[in-house]
Amino acid sequence: MKNYPRLYGEPLKDPIQTKPLLRDPELHWKKGRSAYEAAHSWVKGNINHEGGMPRPVRSLLNEAPEWMEAEVAVGLFEHATPLDTLQAPSNNDLLVVCRLRETLGVMAVEAKAGEPFGELVSVWNSTPGRSARLTWACDFFDVDADACGGLRWQLFHRTASAVIEAKRFHAPHAIMLVHVFAEKVSWKDDYMAFADTIGIANADIGRLSDPKLVGGVSLRLGWLRDSIS
């Protein structure tokens, strides 16, 4: 029997096995929706492609010397990463721990099929608890909270989760990867504004950014446009 790299507990051999993991399976498990497309891309890539990941992802990672020839060690669909508190974690569409040449790397994958990156910080920041979390996030990335009102909150917590999980696995490298399944490029300006604010250079569509050290972890951002199943 072929030794499939593990994605979630028992080896996943069919994308449908990820459906029960979704917070709202009936709503999100539809062709063309990000959860459906990500499951098909990653599960099939895990079984069929070298390195256990979709070929477009592998090609993108090969842009960075430390990520060249990365292989999937374990992938966790709908993985919840605690942030400053155990309440309201960041629910990663897919968290992937990769074997690199000499160490480990962690990717927090945010799948998109035209959806925005959540609410603007100025809209989301509506309670004392959220205000405290925003302060934590701004300290995490060493940015001024007053400069963040026009940014998308989801980009903050998803990117933070990549660094947090990298530290948990003692991995020196992390990527927050936007994996897009749509013909039209949407919300690029939000992505690039976030990258610019947290000081990550050369973030653009279809490439990996330059790295930046965040909390002792070398962090990159990536944006990959993929085909619909």
Q: Is the pLDDT of residue 57 over 80?
A: yes
Residue 23 bridge partners (DSSP)? none
Angle at 226 between CA 16 and CA 45, to 5 degrees: 45
Instruction: Report which residue type is found at 218.
Output: S
Q: Is the pLDDT of residue 197 over 80?
A: yes
Q: Is the pLDDT of residue 114 over 50?
A: yes
Whole-number pLDDT of residue 4? 41
Number of domains forming the structure of the chain: 1
Residue 9 lies in a domain: no
Q: Is the pLDDT of residue 227 over 90?
A: no
Q: Is the pLDDT of residue 9 over 80?
A: no
Angle at 111 between CA 8 and CA 93, to 5 degrees: 35
At residue 98 the predicted structure's pLDDT band, cuts being 50, 70 and 90, is: very high
Residue 10 lies in a domain: no
Average pLDDT rounded to a whole number, residues 83-98 = 94
Query: What tens digit of pLDDT does each residue of 135-188 get?
Result: 999 999 999 999 999 999 999 999 999 999 999 999 999 999 999 999 888 999
Domain that includes residue 123, residue range? 15-225
Residue 1 lies in a domain: no
Whole-number pLDDT of residue 10? 66
Q: Is the pLDDT of residue 2 over 90?
A: no
Contact 195, 221 (CB under 8 A): yes
Whole-number pLDDT of residue 86? 85
For residue 60, give the nearest of 164, 203, 198, 217 by alpha carbon.
203
At residue 48 the predicted structure's pLDDT band, cuts being 50, 70 and 90, is: confident
Average pLDDT rounded to a whole number, residues 69-76 = 93
DSSP state letters, 157-169? HHHHHHHHHHHHT
Question: How confident is the prediction for the chain on average, in pLDDT?
Answer: 92
Residue 159 lies in a domain: yes
User: Where do we find the tokens 């990996």?
Assistant: 208
Residue 140 lies in a domain: yes
Contact 44, 15 (CB under 8 A): yes
Residue 196 lies in a domain: yes
Q: Is the pLDDT of residue 6 over 70?
A: no
Residue 83 lies in a domain: yes
Residue 4 lies in a domain: no
**Angle subtended by helix axes 188-197 and 153-168, to nearest 10:** 60
